[in-house]
Amino acid sequence: MKRNPLALIAANPLMGVFIALVIIFAISIAASPHFLTGYNMSVIARALAFVGLITIGQAMLMILGELDLSLGVIGGLCGVVAGMAMTSGGLPPIVAIPACLLLGAMLGALNGLLVSILKLHSLVLTIGTAGVFGGVNLVLTKGVAITGMPPEIQFFGRGEVYGIPVPFIIMLVVLAIAVFITAKTPFGRFMYAIGNNVAAAEMLGIKVNRIRVLVFTMAGLLAALAGLLMVARLGTAQPSIGETWVLAPIAASVIGGVATTGGVGSPLGAIFGASIIAIIENIIVLFGVSPYWQGVVSGVIVVLAISFDSASRRLIRKES
């Protein structure tokens, strides 16, 4: 029996955002001769890598029904601490980098523990912890960048393998692991169960608090990784690292079909959403859009992309 191709498409919730991504990509190729060049693709890939890592962590939290607004700040703080450890602290990168990844994981775990123990909404709690972590960042740096990073770490931020930026390769590896965890393991199924209905998940015997703390820990670890890669990219530890990583990962996840209410979506969809945002940011510069219109233009494209995803899903369901 031959199945309707629309029904096959409808079975895959990522198809809508993927088609939106392909359309934006195709329009960009047609509209700018500078878009589809090797150099520009590496620019987009590198930009996507850093925010993509935060997006993966945020998407996993959103699947769980949580949000962490401190992820960007954790990335910045870990980058700064790593920078200080490798310069004034005199620690070799092989020691400083794992230590700061651990710090990121611990800060994430702290968020998870506080949410679980205090029974606070993660959105509210992480606004507070973002203030604390950001404040510590300022206390440590006095707002001034830390320079003199060891040259051997620069490969992780600036290097390329067969023309592909190293941070992008790292992001793809992390994405593959995140997709495997969410789609193929009992842990992933528990995440969706908790996101759909916490009370029901508890009744089923799922250790909700343990899973929550673990997912917050993973998100903190990924934020620290993004911060460290950015330090390697810039060659300095900027106190402002992560300031722009707050709303974009949430927007990317929503564009990619991750529900803010939990239980729906995947890290892969969120990365499709982040790709749409990265392409928009790139083409705005390629097209020479006035900085005063950039917010309007990018906002309209995002709304169109979300609308296309939603409308295509409805149409496909109706047709099938």
Partner 1 sequence: MTSGMNGLVPALRAIAATTTAVVLATAFPAFAQEEPGMEVKDSYRFVIIPKVVHPWFDQVNNGAMQAAQVIEAQTGSKVEIVYSAPQQADVVQQNQIIESSIATRPDGIAVDLLDASGNRASLEEAVGQEIPVTIFDSVPPEGMELTSIGNDFCEQAKLASRRLVELMEESGQVAIMMGVPSAPNHAIRAQCHEEVFAEYPNIELVATGIDNDDIETAQKQAAAIMQANPDLKGWVASDAAGPIGIGQAIQEAGKTGDVILVGLDNLPEMLQLIRDGVAESSSSTRPEMQGYWSIMAMWQQAMGIDTPKYIDTGIDFITKEDLE
Site for partner 1, rule CB under 8 A? 32, 34-35, 37, 39-40, 43, 46-47, 50, 142-145, 147, 157-158, 230, 233-236, 238-241, 243-244, 281-282, 285-286, 288, 290-292, 294-295
CA distance 240 to 270: 24
Tokens describing residue 267: 């890290």
Check: CB of residue 242 under 8 Å from CB of residue 139. no
DSSP string for residues in the chain: -PPPHHHHHHT-TTHHHHHHHHHHHHHHHHH-TTTSSHHHHHHHHHHHHHHHHHHHHHHHHHHTT---TTHHHHHHHHHHHHHHHHTTS---HHHHHHHHHHHHHHHHHHHHHHHHHH---HHHHHHHHHHHHHHHHHHHHTT--B----GGGHHHHH-EETTEEHHHHHHHHHHHHHHHHHHHSHHHHHHHHHHH-HHHHHHTT--HHHHHHHHHHHHHHHHHHHHHHHHHHHSSB-TTTTTTSSHHHHHHHHHTT--TTSS---HHHHHHHHHHHHHHHHHHHHTT--HHHHHHHHHHHHHHHHHHHHHHHHHHHHH-
* Chain center to CA of 217: 14
